[in-house]
């Protein structure tokens, strides 16, 4: 039960403030609020409903240009508070021994931005993220059997997941605003993940390595004919499991592979390609008596291209309903 509960906690804590656009179109990509990290390939084994609440704080003070260097011509300050709620349903059927699920996530944002002398407060409900269908399968250890003296209930070995997600543009959007919580774009997001848990070691119950690849394809904004390029986003985490605790390092790397365009013409000078790398600690704690879990995460900026130096603080609470 412990593994079942926390699997949803971290898989659902996924991009409230990641997607806030700054003073221009582009430089955005889709995903769940906060990004995925530990246990990201694992779905709850038991059918039924699961819920999660996520809180986020975001700050930024510098903008970076096309050459990965700070843009000295941009004076910016960004402070954002946000919350999100996720509802997941695990279907009461098995497919080839794996688990099927769907989820939907709504979010609300409040914040302030200053940009080269201009200032604006903004608030409202953002776009909706939905994992329309997800499939997860546990394969077990790739070599040998279950580790000796292993605690019961932990998914030692390999788990893989494939899903199709979308972002629906229901959030508040205005072309004249300095900041907007909605984007007037659909995002089509096939994604793939794996989680591997080794046997017990001198530190605890096992070392876990997780990775989650999102491929983001956006529609064209019907208001200004702006189209964001395709982005590949890799979320990852390396952590140790010790009893009810799990802690380690998480991060994400996003890279844009095609040009931003307006009316089909490449945005000057080089397509405004996005690049971003963030790293930080993540800690989770299981509460079996509540069938629940809580997680804390910090994401610190490392490298940026056509993006802000965003720092994020996130907390999530999830529970079987």
124-163: per-residue pLDDT in tens? 999 999 999 999 999 999 887 777 777 888 999 999 999 9
135 within domain boundaries: yes
274 within domain boundaries: no
What's the token pair of residue 173?
């959007």
Q: Are 296 and 34 in contact (CB under 8 A)?
A: no
Helix (H, G, I), strand (E, B) or coil at 154: coil
What's the farthest any 2 CA atoms get from each other in the chain? 63
Q: How far apart are CA 89 and CA 121, in angstroms?
A: 36
Q: How far apart are CA 144 and CA 199, in angstroms?
A: 11
Q: How far apart are CA 243 and CA 211, in angstroms?
A: 22
67 within domain boundaries: no
Say which DSSP state 239 is in: E
- Who contacts 257 (Cβ-Cβ below 8 Å, separation ≥6)? 229, 230, 231, 232, 273
CATH code at position 7: 2.40.128
Number of domains into which the chain is organized? 1
Average pLDDT of the chain is 89
**For residue 86, what are the domain limits?**
2-62+75-219+238-250+281-301+310-320
Average pLDDT over residues 282-286: 98
Helix (H, G, I), strand (E, B) or coil at 289: helix
Give tens-digit pLDDT for 17-39.
444 444 345 567 778 888 899 99
261 within domain boundaries: no
Answer yes or no: is pLDDT of 8 > 50.
yes
Q: What's the gap between Cα 250 and its chain centre?
A: 11
Average pLDDT over residues 183-206: 94
Q: Greater confidence, 268 or 41?
A: 41
Give tens-digit pLDDT for 86-112.
999 999 999 999 999 999 999 999 999
185 within domain boundaries: yes
């Amino acid at each position: 039960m412990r593994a079942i509960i926390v699997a949803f906690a971290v898989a659902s804590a996924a991009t409230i403030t990641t997607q806030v656009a700054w003073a221009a179109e582009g430089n955005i990509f889709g995903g769940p609020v906060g990004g995925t990290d530990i246990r990201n390939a694992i779905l709850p084994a038991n059918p039924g409903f699961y819920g999660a609440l996520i809180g986020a704080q975001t700050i930024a003070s510098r903008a970076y240009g096309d050459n990965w260097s700070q843009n000295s011509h941009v004076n910016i300050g960004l402070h954002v508070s946000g919350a999100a709620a996720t509802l997941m349903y695990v279907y009461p059927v098995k497919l080839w021994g794996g688990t099927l699920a769907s989820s939907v996530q709504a979010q609300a944002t409040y914040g302030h931005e200053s940009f080269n002398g201009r200032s604006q407060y903004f608030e409202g409900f953002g776009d909706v993220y939905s994992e329309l269908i997800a499939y997860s399968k546990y394969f077990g250890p790739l070599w040998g059997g279950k580790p000796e003296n292993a605690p019961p209930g932990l998914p030692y070995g390999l788990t893989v997941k494939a899903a199709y997600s979308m972002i629906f543009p229901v959030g508040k959007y205005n072309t004249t605003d300095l900041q907007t919580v909605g984007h007037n774009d659909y995002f089509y997001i096939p994604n793939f993940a794996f989680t591997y848990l080794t046997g017990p070691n001198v530190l605890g119950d096992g070392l876990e390595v997780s990775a989650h690849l999102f491929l983001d394809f956006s529609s064209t904004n019907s208001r200004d004919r702006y189209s964001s390029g395709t982005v590949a986003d890799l979320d990852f985490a390396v952590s140790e499991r010790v009893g009810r605790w799990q802690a380690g390092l998480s991060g994400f790397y996003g890279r844009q592979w095609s040009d931003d365009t307006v009316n089909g013409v490449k945005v000057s000078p080089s397509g405004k390609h996005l690049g971003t790398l963030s790293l930080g600690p993540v800690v989770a704690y299981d509460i079996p008596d509540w069938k629940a879990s809580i997680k804390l995460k910090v994401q610190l900026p490392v490298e940026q291209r056509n993006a802000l130096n965003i720092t994020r603080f996130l907390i999530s609470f999830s529970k079987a309903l």
